Amino acid sequence: MAQRDGGTGNTGRWLRKKLKSISGEPQDREELAELLREASDRGLIDSEAASMLEGVLEVSDLQVRQIMVPRAQMVFVRRDDPPARILSTVIDSGHSRFPVMDEDRDDIVGILLAKDLLRLTTAGHEERFDIREYMRPAVFVPESKRLNVLLKEFRHNRNHMAIVVDEYGGVSGFVTIEDVIEQIVGDIDDEFDVEDDRNIRKEEARQFSVRGMTRLEEFNEYFGTRIAGDGFDTVAGLVMSRLGRLPRRGETLAIDGLEFQVVRADRRRIDTLRVVSARDVIPPEERAAGGA
């Protein structure tokens, strides 16, 4: 007789016992999450599995605006661009999908897939190129759409990218199915992840991407601030100390006139934050160059 998997059986028995001990079933989502964390601490559930299960629970609490790639980071092609320019953009960026814009940057007329341009690499096809034959329809979603709803729509419609618009119809950015899945399984390196050795990177005017491991001395020097670490040495430690807990993705916090938003995080650490300043920030290298 085959031996039963003791680990799986023990996990099931323990969960059933715990469910009975709290009046038959969890009373809210936090109570269920606490059960998962306790099971992980006892070694009954793998920590990665517990983390993914908590991610599933959190997806319905997040909105598209909290995970989208902002407009300033979008790489796009224009409908009237010649084939050579489009191919150059595709090759240089290494991305797989591109919004196609008309004259107005808020007027997106379709999505172009890099794989559909393979025919342009053969002789004679550039002369017959018509981008309308290559474009896929663009899907638009509001910033406020819940991620669990968006994931269902992605799966049902077999789309992998949606253009995000604000309440006035302007383009805010885009979101991919991979962005949503990352909220469940954790970070996945993809073509939109920037390989950069810098801990602090300027995204647009007064908006910056900051690694959680950035030391406060470096952060203060960059932003010209004097933020105390409350016993912590890194930006991630600062944010956690101010909140008193490990924050969820998308959460925001104001510190000394700066807005910190958690962009990437799991159940153990904060990986990346977006920092928005109310004033212009001159990076140290630019200050040094100006004084030279």
Res 1 pLDDT > 60? no
Res 93 pLDDT > 80? no
Give the whole-angstrom CA distance, residue 292 versus residue 288: 6
Sign of the CA dihedral with 134 first, then 136, 142, and 143 last: negative
Mean pLDDT calculated for residue range 124-143? 81
Phi and psi angles of residue 192, each rounded to the nearest 5 degrees, phi first: -95, -10
Average pLDDT, the chain: 79
| 183 and 76 assigned to the same domain | yes
- 134, 112 Cβ separation under 8 angstroms: yes
Higher model confidence: residue 136 or residue 18?
136
Q: What six digits make up the tokens of 213? A: 């491991």
What is the arrangement of strands in the sheet containing 108-113, beginning at the earlier edge strand?
77-78, 97-101, 108-113
Residue 152 inside a domain? The answer is yes
| 154 and 264 assigned to the same domain | no
Q: What is the CA radius of gyration of the chain?
A: 23
Q: What six digits make up the tokens of 255? A: 């510190």
Residue 1 inside a domain? The answer is no
Res 2 pLDDT > 50? no
Residue 50 inside a domain? The answer is no
Mean pLDDT calculated for residue range 54-65? 81
Give the whole-angstrom CA distance, residue 164 versus residue 143: 6
Phi and psi angles of residue 132, each rounded to the nearest 5 degrees, phi first: -65, -25
Higher model confidence: residue 273 or residue 6?
273
What is the tens place of the pLDDT at every residue in 176-233?
Answer: 998 888 877 776 655 445 455 688 988 888 899 999 989 999 999 999 999 987 778 8
What is the tens place of the pLDDT at every residue in 38-56?
Answer: 777 777 777 777 777 777 7
| 130 and 189 assigned to the same domain | yes
pLDDT computed for residue 122 by the predictor:
63
| 241 and 151 assigned to the same domain | no
| 65 and 185 assigned to the same domain | yes
The enclosing domain of 204 has a CATH number of 3.30.465.10
Give the whole-angstrom CA distance, residue 93 versus residue 202: 18
Residue 271 inside a domain? The answer is yes
Res 6 pLDDT > 60? no
Q: How many domains does the chain have?
A: 3
| 113 and 64 assigned to the same domain | yes
Provide the domain limits for residue 28. Answer: 6-45
**Of 86, 72, 53, 83, nearest in space to 201 by CA:** 72
| 172 and 90 assigned to the same domain | yes
Q: Which residues share a beta bridge with 220?
A: none
**Of 62, 53, 11, 46, nearest in space to 32 by CA:** 53
| 206 and 109 assigned to the same domain | no
Helix boundaries (H) for the chain: 6-21, 29-41, 47-59, 83-93, 147-157, 177-185, 216-223, 235-243, 284-291
Residue 78 inside a domain? The answer is yes
Give the whole-angstrom CA distance, residue 284 versus residue 289: 9
DSSP class of residue 63? Answer: B
Residue 232 inside a domain? The answer is yes
| 183 and 62 assigned to the same domain | yes
The enclosing domain of 99 has a CATH number of 3.10.580.10
Residue 89 inside a domain? The answer is yes
User: CB atoms < 10 A from the CB of 72, how many?
Assistant: 11
Residue 111 inside a domain? The answer is yes
